[in-house]
Chain A
Amino acid sequence: MITPNHKAPLTFATIEPDAGLKAALAKPRVDLIAEITASQLKGRGGAGFPTGVKWNLAAAAQADTKYVICNADEGEPGTFKDRVLLSDHADLVFEGMTIGGYAIGSKIGILYLRGEYTYLRAHLDAVLAARRAKGLLGKNVAGKQGFEFDIQIRMGSGAYVCGEETALIESLEGHRGEPRNRPPFPVDTGLNKLPSVVNNVETFAWVTSILVKGSAWFKAIGTQRSTGLKIFSVSGDCKQPGIYEFPMGITVAKMLEAVGGSDAKAVQIGGASGHCVPASEFGRVIAFEDVSTGGSVIVFGAHRDMLHVAKNFLEFFVEESCGQCTPCRDGNPKLLGGVELLEQGRCSMRYLNELSSLGETMQIASKCGLGQSAPNAFLSIVKHFKDELMGRTQGEAH
């Protein structure tokens, strides 16, 4: 039923199994973390924090118990690369977690898998069992005396906000998935108040690949501030939707060409939390310093109604807000109300401007990334498509 949709083989398919783990275990911990830092790998889950820096902080934290957590909550609309990686390259991901365990001095790995992906569970359990049987998990991992590490799987229960790392930790502790204030950060006060590294599925797979191919290889690809390769999940109005691997820094136009979507009128990059890029800006680059993304790319053809798109995203945030803080809890329904007025052609320019400044307030005043990025799509659609949004006559078909 699930057809793999790779348009070209991924680098991950060329990585020799266990070679990354062996290379890591042959190094002293400091050198291992230095190798990751030198690659300048930044987190692939969206926020783009440097992985080497994160691991260094967790390694330096003093505690007998530490955790390595893999964030497989993948709930951002339009993202499905982590599902594909877990289906096809689970070993690389688990290998990366094991490398993380060695680097920071942790024995316990946890994969937090979203409830919607329960059908992957049996496969992942089997991969873990095989790794245990091969001595790649458990005591003296891969023959390394004194290094013990194992991985357990915990299931999510249908809450997008649990992808936010502190909400994820709350959920693991048996609470509502309500994000915490940061700082303190999980690297010193994470799961059970102990040092924890939380990384995205793809980030772990790149760690393994970097250990095999070297940090210089990774760093040579991409831009100065966004190194390496990235996996993209492409959907919407294009000829070949699916999973793609591109170097960081690719232009929107080039990506559209590769996926057969060059006649698009706009592209949503970064999912519901991301930005809508209109055709006039297809020269922009996908990188942390310009248009940043965890991998979601949704293409809109000429016939799409951008107001309908904005509405779909806002409905998503109204439902997924945890309700803890006012800007997000009350702001999202207000913006959605504005969209409904626009649909009826009853939104004045003045009110639209007020909504835009409300959106800007939400970006600053919300407690976590959900509320801070919820207005992005609305604001960018309003900015670029005013003529399409305003002055609608009743019953106008779009």
Chain B
Amino acid sequence: MLVTEQERLKSDIGTWLERYGRDRSALIPVLQEIQKKYTRISEYGMQVLADQLGIHPVEVYSVVSFYAFLDHKPKGKFVIRLCRTVSCDMQGKARVAQQLESDLGITFGETTSDGKFSLEWANCLGMCDQGPALLVNDIVYTRVTPAMVNDILETCRKTFGVYALESTHEEGHA
């Protein structure tokens, strides 16, 4: 990691701890913020957070490894989570999964080499009457068909172009 990025992360953690309070109950909210902005929780980040909260880094790691939405490994800018639970399964999730893999050129659990997309399974997304459902980051798509997959990815790619420029520009001030 670049030194500047480490510094940025450290100062972000400071800001978030101000917001959520400097005690153990702030741990998960701060981890969620790190995950969202940096798409992963690095060892350095865990170390800084542990120091600030006066706990052992292993404690932080143990929390990160427990929750499906927190990850040590770098993830794509867009994390696609396809629901694999029975109602979505009965509504054709397997074919949507197949198309996602073909269009992205990766399998579930992987991230594209350009760092744009990660593909994951999710358990019940609570859209059981409108499946198959998937999440792209925080946004939910319902009644997804194999043919829709490309449109969803294209929407992401378009956002990515603009968003990427904005976020490099803004991250320094965040």
Contacts and interface: CB of A to CB of B under 8 A. Distances in A.
Q: Do A and B come from one complex?
A: yes
30 contacts: A1-B141, A2-B127, A2-B142, A5-B129, A75-B123, A76-B124, A77-B86, A79-B128, A80-B129, A83-B126, A155-B29, A157-B28, A157-B31, A157-B32, A159-B66, A173-B24, A175-B24, A176-B62, A176-B63, A233-B128, A235-B128, A236-B90, A241-B128, A272-B86, A298-B128, A304-B90, A312-B86, A313-B86, A316-B123, A320-B123
Interface of A: 1-3, 5, 74-80, 82-83, 114-119, 154-160, 171-177, 192, 233-237, 241-243, 268, 271-272, 298, 304, 308-309, 312-313, 315-316, 319-320, 322
B69 interface: yes
A373 to B, nearest CB: 15
Contacts of A156: 69
B97 to A, nearest CB: 14
Nearest to B28: A174
Interface stretch (B1-9, B109-117, B132-140, B158-166): B132-140
Contact of B123 (A171, A172, A242, A319): A319
A75 to B, nearest CB: 6
Given A154-B29, A174-B28, A236-B90, A77 B69 contact: no
Given A116-B122, A236-B87, A176 B129 contact: no
Contacts of B23: 174
B70 interface: yes
Interface in B69-85: 69-70, 84-85
A189 B85 CA distance: 34
B75 to A, nearest CB: 13
B26, B66, B89, B135 — which one has the most chain A CB atoms within 10 A of its CB? B66
Interface residues of B, number: 38
Contacts of B138: 118-119
Nearest to B70: A157
A157 B68 contact: yes
A52 B26 CA distance: 32
Interface of B: 23-29, 31-32, 62-63, 66-70, 84-87, 89-90, 122-131, 135, 138-142
A75 B124 contact: yes
A77 B124 contact: yes
Given A173-B25, A237-B90, A77 B85 contact: yes
Contacts of B27: 174
B106 to A, nearest CB: 20
A154 B85 CA distance: 25
**What 4 pairs across the A-B complex have the smallest Cβ distances?**
A158-B68, A235-B128, A174-B27, A157-B67
Contacts of A118: 138
B140 A78 contact: no
Contacts of A76: 124
Contacts of B131: 235
B129 A242 contact: yes
Contacts of A312: 84-86, 89
Given A80-B129, A172-B25, A1 B140 contact: yes
A206 B142 CA distance: 29
Contacts of A116: 122, 125-126, 135
